[in-house]
A = this chain, B = another copy of it.
Amino acid sequence: MSTQSVVTAIRVLEAVSDNQPAGLSELSRELDVPKATVLRMLRTLAELGWVAQSEAQAGKWVLTNHAFAVASRGSSGSVIRDAAMGPLNALQLDTTETVHLAVPDRGHMLIIERLDTPHVLRAFLPLGSRLPMHASSTGIAYLSAAEDKIVDEYLAAPLEALTPQTVIDPAQLRAMIGETRARGYSINEQGLSTGITSIGVPLLGPGGVAAGSISISGPSSRIVPAKYQEYGEAAAGTAREISRVLGAFSTKTY
């Protein structure tokens, strides 16, 4: 609508992020924007310190960590994180397994924090990982608390399987979401990564709106069915605490 050069610049930025190290022609083709324009954007973004020419491969462009630094202070990021870190820390100490804090972003769950297990056998996700909602316990947990519209839209899009165990059938996913709602926590057995099981619980923000989720993850050899209930309830208690701080149960409405 307006400021189209800014739109182009951001599109270039996102394309670079997706194609890491990205070539000029490649970007031009993908975005359907003339090379000259793409290059101008890249140069401008480079001046600002958001992208740089790859040192390994000249002519290839990559994001800088300055981009990361600026964006780290994401709003819901820090608000939720501030509320979550204390309770999450306690949960990690209780369970001794890795716990994750995730927020939704365009059909994915974005991992914004992690507290890890002391066990030698560790399975964790890098900060900033984006997980498909249907393939993660955090995603199913989030969907279980989200508005129907969000669930419908998500399930309408084609779903990808990450492992042989990933559930991609919408009907089956709806059933899982229902179970999660009833039980209070979601269970993902190797749907994200083979050998990893995880338990998720949604977080609610002001007005009871789904704001994100937390999870307990570990090797399937350690997170066995006999522990599901214990971990699920522990996580649910932690989530309630965080949601309260976020104002989920506040009566004040303004």
Contact = CB atoms under 8 A, between A and B. Distances in A.
Given A49-B106, A64-B76, A77-B68, A5 B7 contact: no
Number of this chain's copies in the complex: 2
A134 interface: no
A65 B115 contact: no
A108 B10 contact: no
Interface stretch (A52-60, A136-144, A148-156, A230-238): A52-60
A69 B108 contact: yes
A239 to B, nearest CB: 18
Given A56-B206, A78-B20, A115-B116, A89 B10 contact: no
Most chain B C-beta atoms within 10 Å of own C-beta, residue among A48, A85, A120, A127:
A127
Contacts of A81: 126
Interface residues of A, number: 73
Contacts of A73: 17-18, 20, 63, 128
Interface stretch (A37-45, A178-186, A221-229): A37-45
A70 B13 contact: yes
A3 B40 contact: yes
Given A3-B9, A21-B75, A68-B105, 6 more contacts: A10-B50, A67-B70, A68-B112, A71-B72, A81-B126, A114-B114
